[in-house]
């Protein structure tokens, strides 16, 4: 928690004034029993109505002043707590954005969402109540004991016994419940993870008729969370009744001893009432303290979870990993690297004995990859499922860092390039087409926020998206729903490609980003990218041999190894893995320059004839 207090440094004034005004309110509250004692012993005993009215005026004044102090304290405490939570949330979000894919994979999305929302809200509530009550409640408790000593030291000894007993109960329950609240938050992570999976994959769940199974799974995890919350709730719930028992026992002792003291004349009736009021104040404050302890316990548990994320260090090592946003231009000006952010010419990419092992993985995902792409070339990457295609291209923009060897951009190790400059030089279109709520224009401007309207339309035309965008009402200002759900899969893919092209990158990575496109659109897309002015070096990851067969070089991956590197014709002869992939998609004996569309049409026609022949045979039988 102490590491999080740095986000309170801009609220030092509020952090001091909030508790200060609460202590002022408590001070006025401690005078109330003395005023009541004076009213009983002087005003009522002597039937002095004027004195009673004057003392009642004093009580009203104390109440009004206390109210003003309380409202002021609440204002400063709320301002500090909300400001602290805002800064902490910004810092946590920024830190998460700085983590590499490795840390994101290990931490998990659901727990990060919980820590960004629920955990920070709990910490905010804890800070708010701490500023308001952490000093006030002990001040009133010990202040009441001191005031009791000013009345009668023998009766005040009851307070000396009661207060430590109450402290043992309060802090004992806190020590027991704190680790349990951490377990509750972890269970909440699991419930949130299940909810997120079900909402994201609702179509798959319904397609496989798994609604009842998923409902049962969610119900089981929810029941586990409920059981844990009830367990810790029962322990926390002991605090109020136990404190009531102790305090009421103290009240009985005061009344018993005070009654005898009144008979002997050692105490007046008003003083006994004052002692009872002080004991009642202690009861109220300890109930507040009990609730405060529960809130602080939750806040401490949540703060520990937030702090663990902030202490997570990115696996991206070197100067580039920590370079600020302006480091790219500074490095360029100092001559420490080439001007990678410029789109004047494509960049060459080289893999020098590159291996990659994911965090906590038992084996390498990529092993000893040696490969070089000349500037402006089109590189095809193909292989079976899990062969390492995405891992291969993710090393170029440093989504992951190579565990062995190096990846070089124009001869410079990507780990020595300031990260902002590297990311500006590389355009990435991931496997999953992800759009953000807003408009088509706002999504395209992610690629280049200074892009002109003409540049946006050029990117849309190159991505084969211009036609359907022109038909949309509002065109570039047409709305985009969350995740782009109001577009088809092919439209989303083309818009994400356009978003990358707006940047005019020197290296363009298409990670299986045309899987939803038909053959004709896919071919037109590749052609338009090749014909772009200052066309980038393009890496095309695809399951289709037709998409990469005309590439300048093709990298064939199998179980993380490079099974073959070369042109289409060479690989057909020398690489069994590539030949197997190609022949699984095309008929054997197909001429190499045959159109993939026509080949597939022939295959479909042949299968259709075979199916019709089978049906005819069935009828004859």
Q: Would you place residue 44 in the very low, low, confident or very high pLDDT band (cuts 50, 70, 90)? A: confident
Q: Would you place residue 318 in the very low, low, confident or very high pLDDT band (cuts 50, 70, 90)? A: low
Least confident of 54-63, 396-405, 568-577, 605-614: 605-614
* pLDDT (tens digit per residue) in 353-387: 888 888 777 778 888 888 888 888 888 888 887 78
What is the rounded distance in angstroms from the CA atom of residue 150 to the CA atom of residue 358? Answer: 70
* pLDDT (tens digit per residue) in 97-145: 887 777 777 777 777 887 888 888 888 888 888 888 888 888 888 888 8
CA angle 511, 517, 523 (to 5 degrees): 85
For residue 38, count other CB atoms closer than 10 A to its CB: 17
For residue 499, count other CB atoms closer than 10 A to its CB: 28
Angle, in degrees to the nearest 10, between helices 136-151 and 153-200:
170
Mean pLDDT of the chain: 79
**Mean pLDDT value of segment 204-224:** 87
Q: Please report, rounded to a whole number, the percentage of residues in the chain having pLDDT higher than 70.
A: 89
Give the residue with greater pLDDT, 270 vs 82. 82
pLDDT at position 587: 62
Residue 64 class from Cβ within 10 Å (0-12 exposed, 13-18 middle, 19+ buried)? exposed
Tokens of 115: 């820590």
* pLDDT (tens digit per residue) in 494-545: 888 888 888 888 888 888 777 777 778 878 888 888 877 777 888 888 887 8
Contacts 24+ apart (CB under 8 A), 457-460: 458/501, 459/498, 459/499, 459/501, 459/502, 460/498
Do the Cβ atoms of 125 and 291 come closer than 8 Å? no
pLDDT at position 602: 44
**Mean pLDDT value of segment 387-410:** 85
**Mean pLDDT value of segment 485-497:** 83
Least confident of 77-81, 181-185, 343-347, 439-443: 343-347
Q: Please report, rounded to a whole number, the percentage of residues in the chain having pLDDT higher than 90.
A: 1
CA angle 477, 478, 482 (to 5 degrees): 115
Residue 233 has pLDDT above 70, yes or no: yes
Q: Would you place residue 603 in the very low, low, confident or very high pLDDT band (cuts 50, 70, 90)? A: very low
**Mean pLDDT value of segment 571-590:** 77
pLDDT at position 326: 41
* pLDDT (tens digit per residue) in 550-561: 888 888 888 888
Tokens of 31: 């005078």
**Closest to 404 in 3D by CA, of 351, 352, 350, 354:** 354
pLDDT at position 482: 79
**Mean pLDDT value of segment 473-490:** 82
What is the rounded distance in angstroms from the CA atom of residue 186 to the CA atom of residue 251? Answer: 42
Residue with tokens 């402290």: 167
Q: Would you place residue 193 in the very low, low, confident or very high pLDDT band (cuts 50, 70, 90)? A: confident
pLDDT at position 327: 40
Q: Would you place residue 2 in the very low, low, confident or very high pLDDT band (cuts 50, 70, 90)? A: low
Give the residue with greater pLDDT, 208 vs 341. 208
Q: Would you place residue 597 in the very low, low, confident or very high pLDDT band (cuts 50, 70, 90)? A: very low
Pair type for strands 479-480 and 438-439: antiparallel
This prediction has a pTM of: 0.66
The CA-atom distances, in angstroms, between 439 and each of 69, 461, 479, 483, 563 are 49, 18, 4, 12, 43
Classify the phi-psi angles of 371: left when phi > 0, otherwise alpha if psi is within -120 to 50, otherwise beta.
Answer: beta
Do the Cβ atoms of 193 and 110 come closer than 8 Å? yes
Do the Cβ atoms of 275 and 148 come closer than 8 Å? yes
pLDDT at position 411: 82
What is the rounded distance in angstroms from the CA atom of residue 212 to the CA atom of residue 102? Answer: 34
- Helix ranges (H only) for 311-344 are 319-322, 327-334
Chain centroid, CA 130 distance in Å: 26
416: DSSP letter: G
Chain centroid, CA 62 distance in Å: 47
Chain centroid, CA 277 distance in Å: 49
pLDDT at position 267: 77
Residue with tokens 């269970």: 187
pLDDT at position 328: 41
pLDDT at position 342: 44
The CA-atom distances, in angstroms, between 435 and each of 202, 351, 425, 454, 466 are 19, 31, 21, 21, 17
* pLDDT (tens digit per residue) in 134-189: 888 888 888 888 888 887 778 778 878 887 887 788 778 777 877 787 788 778 87
Pair type for strands 438-439 and 507-511: unpaired
């Amino acid at each position: 928690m102490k590491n999080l207090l740095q986000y309170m440094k801009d609220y030092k004034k509020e952090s001091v004034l909030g508790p200060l005004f609460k202590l002022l309110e408590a001070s006025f509250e401690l005078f109330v029993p003395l005023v009541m004692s004076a009213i009983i012993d002087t005003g009522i005993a002597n039937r002095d109505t004027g004195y009673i009215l004057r003392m009642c005026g004093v009580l009203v004044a104390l109440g009004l002043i206390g109210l003003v102090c309380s409202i002021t304290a609440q204002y400063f405490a709320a301002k500090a707590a909300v400001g602290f939570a805002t800064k902490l949330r910004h810092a946590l979000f920024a830190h998460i954005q700085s983590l590499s894919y490795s840390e994101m994979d290990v931490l998990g999305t659901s727990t990060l969402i919980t820590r960004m929302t629920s955990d920070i809200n709990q910490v905010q509530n804890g800070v708010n109540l701490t500023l308001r009550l952490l000093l006030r409640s002990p001040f009133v408790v010990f202040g009441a004991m001191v005031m009791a000593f000013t009345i009668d030291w023998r009766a005040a000894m009851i307070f000396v016994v009661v207060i430590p007993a109450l402290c043992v109960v309060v802090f004992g329950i806190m020590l027991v419940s704190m680790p349990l609240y951490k377990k509750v938050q972890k269970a909440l992570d699991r419930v949130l993870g299940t909810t997120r999976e079900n909402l994201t994959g609702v179509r798959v769940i319904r397609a496989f008729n798994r609604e009842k199974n998923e409902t049962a799974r969610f119900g089981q995890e929810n029941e586990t969370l409920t059981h844990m919350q009830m367990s810790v709730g029962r322990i926390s719930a002991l605090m109020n009744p136990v404190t009531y028992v102790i305090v009421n026992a103290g009240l009985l002792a005061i009344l018993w001893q005070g009654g005898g003291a009144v008979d002997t004349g050692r105490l007046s009736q008003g003083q006994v009432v004052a002692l009872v009021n002080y004991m009642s104040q202690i009861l109220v404050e300890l109930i507040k303290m009990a609730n405060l302890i529960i809130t602080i316990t939750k806040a401490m548990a949540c703060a520990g979870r937030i702090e663990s994320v902030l202490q997570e260090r990115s696996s991206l090592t070197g100067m580039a990993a920590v370079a600020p946003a302006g480091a790219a231009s500074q490095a360029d000006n100092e001559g420490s690297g080439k001007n990678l952010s410029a789109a004047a010419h494509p960049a060459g990419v080289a893999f020098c004995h590159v291996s990659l092992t994911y965090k906590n993985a038992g084996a390498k995902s990529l092993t000893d990859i040696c490969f070089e792409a000349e500037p402006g070339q089109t590189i095809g990457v193909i292989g079976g499922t899990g062969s390492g295609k995405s891992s291969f291209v993710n090393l170029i923009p440093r989504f992951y860092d190579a565990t062995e060897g190096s990846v070089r951009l124009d001869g410079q190790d990507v780990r020595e390039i300031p990260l902002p400059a590297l990311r500006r030089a590389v355009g990435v279109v991931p496997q999953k087409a992800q759009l953000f709520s807003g408009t088509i224009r706002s999504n395209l401007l992610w690629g280049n926020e200074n892009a002109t309207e003409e540049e946006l339309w050029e990117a849309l035309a190159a991505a084969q998206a211009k036609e359907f965008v022109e038909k949309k009402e509002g065109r570039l200002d047409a709305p985009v729903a969350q995740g782009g759900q109001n577009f088809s899969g092919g439209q989303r893919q083309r818009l994400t490609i356009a978003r990358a092209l707006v940047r005019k990158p020197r290296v363009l990575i298409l990670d299986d980003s045309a899987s939803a496109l038909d053959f004709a659109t896919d071919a037109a897309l590749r052609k338009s990218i090749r014909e772009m002015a200052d066309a980038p070096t393009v890496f095309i990851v695809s399951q289709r041999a037709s998409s990469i067969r005309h590439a300048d070089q093709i990298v064939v991956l199998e179980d993380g190894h490079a099974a073959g590197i070369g042109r289409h014709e060479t690989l057909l002869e020398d690489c069994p893995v590539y030949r197997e992939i190609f022949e699984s998609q095309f008929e054997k004996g197909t001429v190499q320059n045959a159109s993939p569309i026509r080949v597939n049409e022939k295959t479909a026609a042949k299968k259709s004839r075979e199916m019709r022949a089978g049906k005819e045979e069935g009828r004859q039988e």
